[in-house]
Structure 1
Amino acid sequence: MANPRLRGFTWWRQKWARKDWAIAATGFTLLMLVLIATFDNWSQETDSSLNRFFNPDPALVDLTLLSHAREKGAVCLDGSAPGYHFQKGFGSGANNWLLHMEGGGWCETVASCSTRKRTALGSSKYMDRVVPFSGILSSDASQNPEFFNWNKVKIRYCDGASFSGNPEKEFKNGTKLFFRGQIIWEAIMDELLSIGLAHTSQAILSGCSAGGLATLIHCDDFRELLPKDAIVKCVSDAGFFLDVEDISGTRAIRSFYHNVVDLQGVVKSLNKDCISRMEPSQCFFPQEFIKNIKTPVFLVNPAYDLWQIQNILVPDLSDPHHDWLKCKLNIYNCNRRQIEVLQGFRNSMLKALGEFQRKKNGGMFINSCFAHCQTWMADTWHSPSSPRINNKTIAESVGDWYFNRRVVTEIDCAYPCNPTCFNIILG
C-alpha cells in the first residue's frame, strides 16, 4: 500500500499526468524531452505550487538576466538572454557560495530543440520571474542547516545539452537555434565572479538531473575559477545516468546521447582523457569520466531512479504491450519479476559506482527510493520525514562530507527495506 504521506504529492503528479502524458506518446524523442523536462521542471513550471505545498513560506527570488548576453554570444536556444536567481548570503555565510544548476533534459534533433525553444527550457521569455528557494537553496536553518546563510544562485537551464553545447555546430540555413551552453556557463561564471564569487572562502557547485550531469562536466572548471585556498566541492543530484541496456536489449539512451553530442557540438566540453579512449558521446555518461574529476564530488542518487527506469531501463519502445506501465508509474504496483529487473538496475548502478567509491575525497548517498532529484525540495533534503540512511538525511550527509566530519559512503539496502523513502507515485 502506498505511503499515506504521499497522497498530496500523488495528486500533483496526477494533475501533471493528465496534462502532459499525451505529448510524450508521440514517440521516443518527445518522450525524452517532455518527461525529463517535466520531472526536472518541478523547479520551474510546477516549482511554485509544489514548494508551497511542502513548504508554506519559501523565499521567492527574482530572475536576473545575464547582462550583455548577445554581445557575449551567450544566448538560449531561441537567442534570448539566459538567467539566474541570486540570493545574497549573510552572517557567517556572507563569503560562501552555493550554485545550483537547473535540470530539464536534452534535445537531440532540430525538431525537439525547436519545440524546446518555445518553453522555459529554451527561452528566458517563458521563465518564471520569481522562483521559491527551498531545500539546498533555502535560507531557513531548520530546512538547510549547513548552507542556509550562504550566497545562493539558481542557474536557469535553456540550452538543451547540460551547459556544454558549442556554437560551431549551429545551422546556417535559416534555422534559428543557438547551441551556446558552454558559452552560457562561462558568461554566467564571469558575472558571478564579478559580484563576489571570485573572493569566496567556501563554495559548492550543485545541480539536479541534467543539471547534475552539468555539475560533473564543469566541476573541475569551477574549481579552477576560484581562489586556490578556497574549499571547493561539487554535489550532483540524480545526474549519474547509466549506459545500460533496456528490457528489450537495446541501448536507446546511448543513441540519444550520441545525437545530443553530435547536434550541439558537445565534444569540446567533454573530458579530454575520456574522448581519447572512446567514442565521444559515451563520455557524456558520468560513469566514463567521473574517475578523471580531481575536485571532490558527492553523488546523491536513488538506486531506483524514476526517470532512468522510465526512459533508460523501460522506455516506451521497449514495452509495446505496456506491461510495465503501472510499475513505471508506481513502484508499489511492480510484480515480482519486475522487481527483480529493478534490482538488476540497482546492481548496475552500484557496479558503475565501484571505482568512484574508492576515491578518498568522494562521497555518496545512494538510497533505495523511487525518486528523481532530492536536494531541491525540503521534504527530501532535510525535514522530519526526509529519507534517511543510518539515520542521516541527505543534508546532514552532504554537510558531514563537505566539512570533513566523517567519511560518507551511504549505500542503502535493496528495496523495499527503507521505510523513510519518499517514493514518487504517478497516476
Structure 2
Amino acid sequence: MAALLLALAILSLVAVGIGGGHNVTISILDLAVAKGAVCLDGTPPAYAYSPGFGDGIDNWHVYLQGGGWCPSTGSCLGRSTIPLGSSAKLISSNNGTQFFTGMLDNNSTLNPDFYDWHVFRIFYCDGSSFMSDVEDVHNLTYRGARIYDAMMDELLRIGMGNAKNALLSGTSAGGLATILHCDKFQALFHNTTRVKCLSDSGFFVHGEHFMGADWRETFFFGVVSAHGLMNTLPTSCTSKFSPTLCLFPENLVQDIKTPLFLIESAFDSYQIGQNVFSPSDKSPRWANCTHNLIFCNWTEIKIMKDFRNTFINTLKSTITDSSGYFIHSCYRHGHMEDIQGSTCSSLVGNNLANKTISQAVGDWYFDRSGFQEMDMLNDLPRNCTTTDDEATFEKKCSDYYMP
C-alpha cells in the first residue's frame, strides 16, 4: 500500500509538471553538407529538437548555443578537436543527447510561458557566432553563416514558417549571434507572426575608455580576420564603423528593427574574467579573484565597479526605447539554461521590479507589459547562487510557484 501511494505521489508530480528538464536526442543535419555548411573540422552541423505540443504547437523557440570564439588559425584548429568545433566530438562527449532545462524546459511549472513550444537548439561549431562564410578550404572550414542558413531551411521545412509566435535566442557568443541575425530571422515569417529576439549575456562591450579596450579590439580583429567576416557583418554597421567594431553590440543594436530583449549582468563574470586584462597581463591573483569573489581585494573590486559603470553607461547610450532589458548586479554569465538564472532567479536574490528573469521576458514577449529595468542600487558584484543541490533547489522553485 505504501509503495502504491508513493507511486501515485510521483505520478501526480509528473502530471503537474514538477520534474524539471528532459533529455533530447542530438541530430545531425546531413543535408547541410551539400551546401558547404559544416563545422570547423568538416563534420555536418548538429541540433536538438523538442517538438511543441498543445497550445504551443504553432510557437517556435530557436536557441543558438554559445562558447566564445577562435581568433586565429591555431586556436580554431584546436577548437576543431573539441565539441565546439566538431559535431562528431559533440555527440561522443554528450552520449548523443542534450539536457533541456531553464527556459528550454517542457515543464509547465519551471518554464510557464514557453514550456509547450517547439524548441530547436543549434549547436555551435564554427567559432564565429554563426557569421563566417569562407569558400577556400585548407585544414579548416569557416562556414558559420552557412550553418545558420541551413538550419533555418530545415526549420522552415518542418513547419516553422507557419508560426504564430517565434523567438530567436542565444547565450554568450550565441547571444551575440542572436543580435547579428535578429532582423534576418524576422524576415523568415509572415507579417502576422509575432517575432522577437532574446540575447542572454551577449552584449560584449568595447569600452573604449576602460582598461583593456585595445585587447578587446585586437581580439575581435582576430576573429574578423580569421573567419573572413569583412563582408558578412551587417552593412548598417560596416557602413559606419570598421568590421572589428561591428562585433561589439553597442554598434549594432540601434539599427535592429525586430524587438530585442537583453538579459545581462553589469558584473558579467566572463567579460570581467576574460576581457579586462589580456592573457599576458592577467596575474594569478586576478584569476583567483575572478573565480571566487571572496579572494578579491578592494583594488580588484574597484576594477569591477569601473567595469559596471562602463557597461551601464554603454547600454544607456545605445539601447533603443523599443528594447526590453533586465540588467542585474549578480556576478554571473548566462541565464537561460538554468532555473537559478531564469524562472527562480528571485530565490537567489535576483529579481527586478518584483519579477524573475523569466517573468520579465514572458511579459515582454507576449506584450503583457514592457520591461526595462537596471539594478542601480548595488554597485558591488553579488553572489546569487544557491548552496542547495539541483533537486532541492528545483523543489523550492516548484513550491514557490505551487505553494
CA-to-partner distance for each residue in 1:87-122, whole Å, 9 max, x for gaps? Answer: 111111100000110001111111111111111111
> Which aligned pairs between 1:163-242 and structure 2 lie closer than 5 A?
163-168=130-135, 170-171=136-137, 175-242=138-205
Taking every aligned residue pair, what percent have the same amino acid on both sides?
37
User: 1:289-338: per-residue Cα shift (whole Å, max 9, x none)?
Assistant: 11100000000011111110011113432234x34233211123322222
Aligned to 1:325: 287
Query: In the alignment, what sits opposite 1:345?
Result: 307
Query: 2:27, 2:263 → 1: CA distance?
Result: 28
Q: Are the structure 2 counterparts of residues 162 and 327 from structure 1 closer, same or farther at C-alpha, using a change threshold of 3 Å?
A: same
Stretch of structure 1 that moved more, 345-354 or 189-198:
345-354
Deviation of the 1:421 alpha carbon: 2.5
CA distance in 1, matches of 2:196, 2:122: 17
Aligned to 2:122: 155
- Offset at 1:248? 5.8
In structure 2, do the counterparts of structure 1 residues 76 and 309 end up closer, same or farther at CA, with 3 Å as the change threshold? same
Contact conserved, 1:248 with 1:318, CA < 8 A, in 2?
no
Residue 392 of structure 2 is matched in structure 1 by none
Distance 1:313 1:249, change over 3 A: closer
Q: Is the 8 A contact 2:308 2:379 kept in 1?
A: no
Residues 418 and 254 of structure 1: is their aligned pair in 2 closer, same or farther, counting only changes over 3 Å?
Answer: closer
> In 2, are the aligned partners of 1:212 and 1:239 still within 8 Å (CA)?
yes
Which of 135, 138, 141 aligns to 2:105? It is 138
Amino acid at match of 1:370: Y
The answer to whether structure 1 residue 367 and structure 2 residue 334 are counterparts is no
* Cα distance in structure 1, aligned partners of 2:296 and 2:378: 12
Q: Please give the alpha-carbon distance, in whole angstroms, between the structure 1 residues aligned to 2:29 and 2:207.
A: 38
Find 2:61's aligned residue among 79, 82, 98: 98
Shift of residue 420 of structure 1? Answer: 8.0
**Closer, same or farther in 2 for the Cα pair 1:339/1:157, shift >3 Å?**
same
Report if the CA contact (8 A) 1:238-1:302 is conserved.
yes
Q: Which moved more, 1:203-212 or 1:265-274?
A: 265-274
Contact 2:301 2:380 in 1 (8 A): no
In structure 1, the residue matched to 2:79 is 116
State whether residues 265 and 332 of structure 2, in contact with CA within 8 Å, keep that contact through their aligned partners in structure 1.
yes
Q: Would you say the 8 A contact 2:20–2:107 is kept in 1?
A: no
Deviation string, structure 1 residues 244-268 (Cα, Å, up to 9, x no partner): 3698655212111111111111123
- Cα distance 1:97–1:225, how it changes in 2: closer, same or farther (>3 A)? same
Residues 61 and 246 of structure 1: is their aligned pair in 2 closer, same or farther, counting only changes over 3 Å? Answer: farther
Give 1:390 shift.
2.3
Given that residues 371 and 423 in structure 1 are in contact (C-alpha distance below 8 angstroms), is that contact kept between their aligned partners in structure 2?
A: no
1:270 matched residue in structure 2: 233
- Root-mean-square deviation (CA, aligned residues, Å) is 2.1
Task: Note if contact 1:356-1:362 (Cα within 8 Å) is conserved in structure 2.
Answer: no
The count of corresponding residues between Structure 1 and Structure 2 is 364
How far is 1:404 from its partner?
A: 1.4
CA distance in 2, matches of 1:180, 1:106: 13
CA distance in 2, matches of 1:355, 1:73: 39
CA deviation map 1:209-252 (0-9, x unaligned): 00000000000000001111100000000000011369865521
> SS where residue 330 of structure 2 aligns?
strand
Q: Distance in 2 between matches of 1:388 and 1:103?
A: 24
Q: Paired residue for 1:422, among 377, 385, 391?
A: 385
Could you tell me whether the CA contact under 8 Å between 2:62 and 2:121 is conserved in 1? yes
1:343 partner amino acid: K
Greater Rg over alpha carbons, structure: 2
Deviation at 1:391, TM superposition (A): 2.1
Distance 1:75 1:156 in 2: 12
